Amino acid sequence: MGACSVAPVIVVLAGGVGAARFLRGLLAVTAPGEVTVVGNTGDDITLHGLRVCPDLDTVTYTLGNGIHEEQGWGRADETYRVATELALYGAPTWFRLGDRDLGTHLFRRTLLDDGMPLSEVTRRIAERWRLPVTLLPMTDDPVETRVVAGGREMHFQEYWVGLHAALPVDRVWLAGDCTPAPGVLDAIANADTILLPPSNPVVSIGTILAVPGIRSTIERANAPVVGVSPVIGGAPVRGMADRMLAAIGVDCTAAAVAKHYGAALLDGWLVDDVDAAAVPEVEAAGIACRAVPLWMNDAESTAAIAKAALALAR
């Protein structure tokens, strides 16, 4: 339009595997440098003295082409020699760290011990991987998602990875005081478009929105906010997100997730073709809604989802 030729800014709130796949599609339909990712750190956990950031690293390895493609997380060509040694010492084995992956965690530990904030550490890691996005952790403060399941309180990772989400969750929350990492609120306030990828609404997007200031800044931002349903045909796609939705009393349907986010947050919502009947219900809640194929099966189908989200935002 005007003389101003500043590239548009797209802010994406990201969990792990679902977000990383979506981001690949988004990068295929946007210009370099347009995308800023605010990553979930509620999954972060200290293991063997190392700070593990599963969601930040899933985004990094995926966009840096170092991801284990079939698995969706962890490094390609991974080995577990160190984990095997640790197991022989009787160290806990429910969360195995691969040898290549350990390189990232050792590097992160060293910089954190030097007093560097997580956001700067994340920038250094992103540099190595030549990430085509700006990746910001939601907060520099050490927070963690906790759950109560089977009468016991534990770290979300212990529930998800250790127990394979085998029990119903009675309570889930983000523990620890925190403020948004530097750059997060500015990115949101100045965004032209804000996207919620098909990430877990509770323990990925939910935790990011739980950082004081983030939700209110998104609600006040001028940018349209468009989300992609992680639920197709009443089931989470590849995963156990239904457990977490049940924990907060939200039905596992595309419409219920949209209404959970609410019209104050969301301007638009994409549901899968099989959920086309949910479109009027979502629109009645004040959220523009379209039904398109939402399976991120390959580069083309994922790019088409990103394109549909951007089109709805416009």
The contact pattern for ligand GDP, residues 44-63, with x = CB under 6 A and - = no contact, is -----------x--x-----
| Of 207 and 217, CB closest to ligand GDP | 207
Residue 137 contacts ligand GDP per CB under 6 A: no
Among 66, 206, 227, 236, binds ligand GDP (CB under 6 A): 236
Helix (H, G, I), strand (E, B) or coil at 28: helix
Among ligand GDP, Ca ion, none, what does residue 173 contact (CB within 5–8 Å per kind)?
none
Among 292, 294, 308, 313, which residue sits at the site for ligand GDP (rule: CB under 6 A)? 294
Contact residue for ligand GDP among 139, 199, 207, 253 (CB under 6 A)? 199
Q: Which amino acid, one-letter code, is at 2? A: G
CB of 71 to Ca ion, least distance (A): 14
Cβ 109 vs Cβ 50: under 8 Å: yes
Tokens of 111: 């910089």
Contact between 16 and Ca ion by CB under 5 A: the answer reads yes
Smallest distance, Ca ion to C-beta of residue 15, A: 5
- Closer to Ca ion at the Cβ: 180 or 201? 201
Q: Which of residues 240-279 bind ligand GDP (CB under 6 A)?
A: 241
List CB contacts of 182: < 8 A, sequence separation 6 or more: 117, 119, 136, 140
- For residue 185, give the amino acid letter: L
Q: Parallel, antiparallel, or unpaired for β 144-149 and 10-14?
A: unpaired
Coil, strand or helix at 13: strand
Alpha-helical regions (H) of the chain: 17-28, 54-63, 81-88, 99-113, 118-129, 156-157, 184-189, 205-210, 214-220, 241-247, 254-261, 279-284, 299-313
Establish if 15 lies at the interface with ligand GDP (CB under 6 A): yes
By the rule CB under 6 A, 41 interacts with ligand GDP:
no
